[in-house]
Amino acid sequence: MQTTGTIKQREKLSNSDLLLVIAAGIFALMYGFAILSYPRSFLQFQTFFDLFSLNAPFIIITLGISVVMIGGGIDISVGSVMGLVTMSCAVLMELHDGSVGGAILLALAIGLAFGLLQGFLIAYLDIQPFIITLAGLFLGAGLLTIIHKDPLNVTSPAFVALRDYEIIVPWLGTTNRLGHFIPLQIKPGAIVVFVLVVVLVSMMKWSRFGRNLYAVGGNSQSARMLGINVKRTRFFSYVLCGVLAGSAGFVFVMTTGAGNVGNGAGMEMKAIAAAIIGGTMLNGGVGNLLGSPIGALTLLTINELIRAAGVDSNLQAIIAGLLLYLFIVLQSAVVSLRGGSSFALALPAWIPFARKG
């Protein structure tokens, strides 16, 4: 007969799943508030799916950042890598008559090259990831300006057909002010995001690499004692992040139809913020990749709310910063309390309700 303690232990959510539930609840509240405030804009299927279609590169980069963060690392080069890929693909297709397939291979190759280089230096030479990926950020930004300095629109017929392709869902849609029904339109970028989320979540949950990465991020010494190859696991996490950054670069070109020197600038910081809001902890070992798109959608919903209200765009950064503070404190509190320690113990002694040892 099972004891009550055993049953409770089995029913207890992991830290990753609990933070995912919290992130999903906050996004639901945020989007619900948006619907109540601006029903004409947010109470539409098209508006919701446009968050995926128009921001697919951002969500893909957030997925890559989350993988590295779960392993206890960080990668601040992904924005520059994505920008380099967008311009490289645009130059290949527009100035050198390259094919769409060739551009996809080029995007993956650039992302893979950065992932291999940075992963090797971090995992096998044991150099701090922030320093290495900062160098990658400068390298990507520098190469971007060398390849082409001006905005470049891609006019290749095959690419234009791909850019303009839409999946029509006739049974979903909205009625405009004139009373005409407009069916739901989904861009290819949203499909790419959906496929990547399914593949990556499955990999992190059921593959040996996923389990090893959680173990390495939680405690690398314990993981090493269990026979896990810590260096190889970290190496492949950066390789995967690089490939995802390359994929995001091509999806960016596919979404905007052009390469630009400003593409990807600052995207890495927004992706890190979205990953944290989605429940991924900076110190590693905790996170659920389902939370990555949720964190990204939370930030995007805030931006859309501010835009709909006609408020100064600087408020977006302020609210995002405050939300980030909230989630970091919340994550620390949840992990501390569930680990058996009291969160109040970490508070200064002069705070009235702080416990004393």
Average of per-residue pLDDT across 298-310:
84
* Residue percentage of the chain with pLDDT more than 70: 89
In a domain, 200, yes or no: yes
Task: Answer yes or no: is 356 within a domain.
Answer: no
Most confident of 115-119, 175-179, 276-280: 115-119
Give pLDDT tens digits for 178-214: 667 788 888 999 999 999 999 999 999 999 999 999 9
353 inside domain: no
Q: Over the stretch 116-133, which tens digit does the pLDDT of each residue have?
A: 999 999 999 999 999 999
- Asked whether residue 6 is assigned to any structural domain, the reply reads no
Domain containing 239: what range?
13-334
> pLDDT band at residue 292, thresholds of 50, 70 and 90?
very high
Over the stretch 12-28, which tens digit does the pLDDT of each residue have? Answer: 678 888 889 989 998 99
Residue 356, pLDDT score: 46
Task: With respect to residue 279, please indicate whether it lies within any of the assigned structural domains.
Answer: yes
Question: Is position 357 within any domain?
Answer: no
Number of domains, the chain: 1
Decide if 172 contacts 45 (C-beta within 8 A).
yes
Q: Is the pLDDT of residue 275 over 90?
A: yes
Q: 105 lies in a domain?
A: yes
CATH number at residue 105: 1.10.3470
Report yes or no on 276 lying in a domain: yes
